[in-house]
Structure 1
Amino acid sequence: MMTTDEIIHALSSFIPNGRSDDENISYFYDLMEDLKHHPDREKAIEPIFRLIEKYPHLDYGSPGPLAHTLEGFHDIYHDYLFASLDRKPTPLTVWMLNRLTNADQRYLEHKALTEKMHALLKHPLLDEETKGAIEDFVDFQDHPGEE
């Protein structure tokens, strides 16, 4: 079994190198499976987000092992998610923000999360695919229950 530091190194040195999506997802599942056994696993939260930012359009699964692992940290990962979105929004991190927004039915928190989603549309590093995902989520949040 790898240590948390070895897992972080594997994440930060990862290069897709023409592997198939399934091979990448399987690789990340193996890393995340190892990670969950470590008491210091929180150290890997930011490196996971940095990997997603580095390769924003890699298929990580739906939602895949990285998102499942991050969401497993519950309230701890929110600040890391917001920091990642501030650095560089990606389809996966925007999807995670949308999941948070859907889950938080307290009015003020829900409103703040929705406003964050709107603000991301002005992000200087926004690419077209991520922008499209944000627009879909914004539309969904602004018009809940409409198809």
Structure 2
Amino acid sequence: MNNNEQEFIETLRKAVSEDDFINIAYDVVDSIKESETPYNFVEPILQLMEDFPEADFGQPGPLTHFVETFYNNGYEELLYQSVKRKPTLHTIWMMNRIINDPKLVNKESYLDLLNEIRNRNNVDKDIKDRINFFMGDQ
């Protein structure tokens, strides 16, 4: 990650607990979109969500809208790896949005991951409950 990319991510990290986080995130995303390599921000944004699982990132919020612009261009694999590493309520919800795509080819791999996560001993009950809710729709 170059210095400019680090600066944007650090701004988000510092602001994540602020009351006006969503507004700050919109401003940062606007700047990221102007960068030469906006896709490079997808993984650090997902890592931010992992690092701050209790944060309100919006429904879906500017960060989710931004990373989803790379749907069918690598975002889903990065999200899959993030959820596998450290599922959060927000990233599980984002994965469910992918699963709900009727054109999704490899739906079973996402469902298998959710099944695996809900059987882990080290996963928060709220995350398991959310997965059970989503899986009830499948």
Counterpart for residue 10 of structure 1: 11
Listed as ranges, the gaps of 5+ residues in structure 2 are none
**C-alpha displacement at 1:10, in angstroms?**
2.2
Q: TM-score, normalised by structure 2?
A: 0.86
**Any stretches of 5+ residues in structure 1 without a counterpart?**
142-147
Aligned-pair RMSD on alpha carbons? 2.0
Distance 1:38 1:134, change over 3 A: same
TM alignment of 1:100-111, pairs within 5 A: 100-105=98-103, 109-111=106-108
Aligned in 2, Cα 1:80/1:125: closer, same or farther, shift over 3 Å? farther
Q: Does 1:73 align with 2:70?
A: yes
Q: Distance in 2 between matches of 1:58 and 1:83?
A: 20
- Quote the sequence identity (%): 30
What TM-score results when the alignment is normalised by the length of structure 1? 0.81
Aligned to 1:89: 87
2:30 is equivalent to residue 29 of structure 1? no
Deviation at 1:124, TM superposition (A): 4.7
Aligned to 2:110: 113
User: Where in structure 2 are the equivalents of 1:49-64 lying within 5 Å?
Assistant: 49-64=46-61
Q: How many residues align?
A: 135
- 1:54–1:62 Cα change, 3 Å: same
Contact 1:53-1:88 at 8 Å conserved across structures = yes
1:50-93 deviations in Å (ceiling 9; x for gaps): 11011112111101011111101112111211111111001111
User: Secondary structure of the residue that 1:103 maps to in structure 2?
Assistant: coil
